[in-house]
Amino acid sequence: MRRSILILAMAVAVVSGTAAVASAADLDTSWGSGGTASFALPAGTTVNDTALLADGRVVAVGEQAGLMPWGGIVSADGATLTPLTGFAMPDTQFDAVATGNNQIYAIGEAGIGPGISTVVVVYDLTGAYVISHPFALSEFTVPTSAAVDGGGRLFVAGTGSGDDDRAEYAWVVRLMATGMIDTAYPTLQLDPPHAGSINPVAYVAVTAGQAVAVVTGDNDPAPGSSIGFHRVTESGSVFMAEFAPTRTIADADIDDSSGIGVFGSLSPGSTLTAVSYAIHSLGVTGIYEDTSVGSWVDSAGRIEVGRIRTDSLLGAGEAAVNTFVELVPSGASFATRSDAELIDVATSPVDGAVYLSMQDAVSDNLIVEKYEGDDSGRFIDDDDSVHETDIEQFAALGVTRGCNPPINDRYCPTESVTRGQMAAFLKRALALPGSSVDFFVDDNGSTFESDINAIAAAGITLGCNPPTNDSYCPDSSVTRAQMASFIVRAISS
């Protein structure tokens, strides 16, 4: 039985209200102070990147005066900023941050010896230091971005050089959950499509929680510049497409949920006061689909992208030091903030809420704004399903948690339901108590063993091998006939 059809059947046993749908462009006035949180930072602090934790907290990283690393966590209600603690390496700054594996990864550059190394600092979810690992691919190894894929693997991208601080190649490494380089995976040295590129740079992201995408470009506005896209595979990388011949990359971001990329780019010989944006559409497997080019006049080279999934692509940029937000490519602007420098845009996979992070150019405060999500809900793979409303209510009730732990931003609506999963659904829907009795011989070690015993104790299942019925067959699919029996017994119980 498909997971989406099961929802309709279980509606007989579970009744719930319908949640109100918010406008996608409204500040969430219940968060922070009217939708905005502002925090004073240590003197001389610059915020370089932010990331969103699954529980709605925002992690920010950067550098303090004197080249010391800085980081903090904005609480889920936007009320407090708690510092990251336990790591203080001199001559170090954090450039990027990623979250995954129930950990926070702060990625920075450190002056070690005569050159620059990349350092990966691991924190737990409270912000306490766990461990750190430096690595150098060349004399100057500078990170630009980081992303964690659906398998919990950390990818870091950056620029590298052997003799001075001018980058000569773009690089990508894969790290283990501990933050150490995965030596079983090749270090990728990627060049933009044209050999004339002077300062190659790479940006890494995960498209739709699956494929790792790498954008390579040239950050020197000179003839020969180009922007290309690579898809990272299990054995290395595959060059997929050239986005913008004769254009220079200014900044880049890829929306994790849709795979749509927004890259700041400018024509050779121009300056950062004449940046235009290019919108590049990538499929969920990281395959290039389409490109369109627009213009944000007089932007300062900062382009970021979030996603309001069932409405429009949400992009943010800077005009001088004025941060603005637009729905692109429509160009409809719904928010601007004067004297604020853009840091990042993130979209919650749980409720579609959009978090915009900035730094005030006058006070240097960290500013985070939370915008209400639309009705796209918790899961990113059910937006086109006729069963989406039921699926999202199912999740809101706590009956389903998703199909791709630990991220759980997918429901897999067209996949079949196993008998083990059915047991979990029923136990959560009916709030059944646990049972100390082990009813079946074939569920030992199963993730769903406690759920199976609970529905057996309630008389909802009898087993799968009558008349003995000492087995449950947890990995077998639920047939429509079995589903009928489950639901009728559940209602009776």
pLDDT digits (tens, 9 = 90+) for 129-154: 999 999 888 888 889 889 887 677 89
Is 31 inside a domain boundary? Answer: no
DSSP state of 6: H
- Which residue do the tokens 């011949």 mark? 245
Is the confidence at residue 450, as pLDDT, over 90? yes
Angstrom CA distances, 340 to 38, 296, 306, 360, 366, stand at 12, 16, 18, 4, 9
Is residue 381 in a domain? no
The 8-class DSSP code of residue 368 comes to: E
Phi, psi of 83 (to 5 degrees): -70, 150
CA dihedral 161, 162, 166, 172 (to 10 degrees): 0
Express each pLDDT in 184-214 by its tens digit: 888 888 766 665 556 677 778 776 555 577 7
Question: With 50 as the cut, is the pLDDT of residue 15 above it?
Answer: no
Range in 85-89, 375-379, 399-403, 419-423 the model is least confident about: 375-379
Mean pLDDT to the nearest integer, 387-416:
78
Q: Where among 321, 339, 371 does a domain terminate?
A: 371
**Three-state DSSP state, 36:** strand
- Residue 182, token pair as written in the block: 């995965």
Across the range 419-426, mean pLDDT stands at 93
Cis peptide before 349 (omega within 30 of 0): no
- 318 and 454, same domain (yes or no): no
What's the chain's Rg over C-alpha atoms?
25
Look up the domain containing 282 and give its range.
36-371
Question: Which residues, in sequence order, are CB contacts of 266 under 8 Å at separation 6+?
Answer: 221, 247, 248, 250, 272, 274, 275, 276
| Residue 392 sits in the same domain as residue 365 | no
My answer on whether omega of the bond before 467 falls inside 30° of 0, hence cis, is: yes
The pLDDT tens digits for 31-60 are 999 999 999 999 999 999 999 998 889 999
Query: In the predicted model, is pLDDT for residue 257 greater than 60?
Result: no
What are 268-278's pLDDT values in tens digits? Answer: 555 555 556 66
Report, in this order, helix, strand and coil percent for the chain, each rounded to 5. 10, 40, 50
Same domain, 61 and 152: yes
Beta bridge partners of 122: 105, 131
415 and 481, same domain (yes or no): yes
Residues 75 and 172 in one domain: yes
CA torsion through residues 461, 465, 469, 474, sign: negative
Please tell me what DSSP assigns to residue 210: T
Q: Is residue 172 part of a domain?
A: yes
Q: Tokens 């690579």 belong to which residue?
A: 230
In a domain, 376, yes or no: no
**Do 229 and 277 form a contact (C-beta atoms < 8 A)?**
no
* Contact in structure between 247 and 255 (CB atoms under 8 Å): no
Domain boundary among 347, 371, 395: 371
Q: Per mean pLDDT, which of 239-243, 291-295, 429-433 is the most reliable?
A: 429-433
Q: What is the pLDDT of residue 121?
A: 96
The per-residue pLDDT for 278 is: 65
Closest C-alpha among 392, 357, 387, 390 to residue 374: 392
Same domain for 410 and 356 = no
| CATH classification at residue 236 | 2.130.10.10
Residue written as token pair 């001389």: 44
Residue 318 falls inside a structural domain: yes
Residue 24 within any structural domain of the chain: no
- Would 28 be classed as within a structural domain? no
Question: What mean pLDDT comes out for the span 469-487?
Answer: 92
**What pLDDT does 253 receive?**
66
Do 72 and 118 belong together in one domain?
yes
The pLDDT of residue 309: 47
Cα distances (angstroms) measured from residue 466 to each of 145, 271, 418, 423, 469: 57, 76, 19, 18, 5
Residue among 287, 247, 246, 143 nearest 204 (CA): 143
Measured on CA atoms in the order 91, 93, 98, 100, is the torsion positive or negative? Answer: positive
Q: Same structural domain for residues 314 and 391?
A: no
Burial class (CB in 10 A: 0-12, 13-18, 19+), 340: buried
Asked if 329 and 415 sit in the same domain, the reply is no
- Per-residue confidence (pLDDT) for residue 40, from 0 to 100: 97
In this structure, the chain runs to a length of: 493
User: Do 324 and 175 lie in a common domain?
Assistant: yes
Do residues 374 and 31 lie in contact, with contact meaning Cβ atoms separated by under 8 Å? no
CA distance 156 to 118: 10
Which of 136-145, 160-169, 399-408 has maximum average pLDDT? Answer: 136-145
For residues 80 and 186, membership in a common domain is answered with yes
Assigned domain for 379 exists: no
Q: b/e per residue, 410-449, with b = 16+ CB within 10 A?
A: bbbbeeebbbbbbbbbbbbbbebeeeeeebbebbeebebb
10 Å Cβ neighbour count for 224? 16
Report how many domains make up the chain.
2
Among residues 371, 401, 436, which one ends one of the domains?
371
Same domain, 86 and 205: yes
> Is the separation of the CB atoms in 263 and 227 below 8 Å?
yes
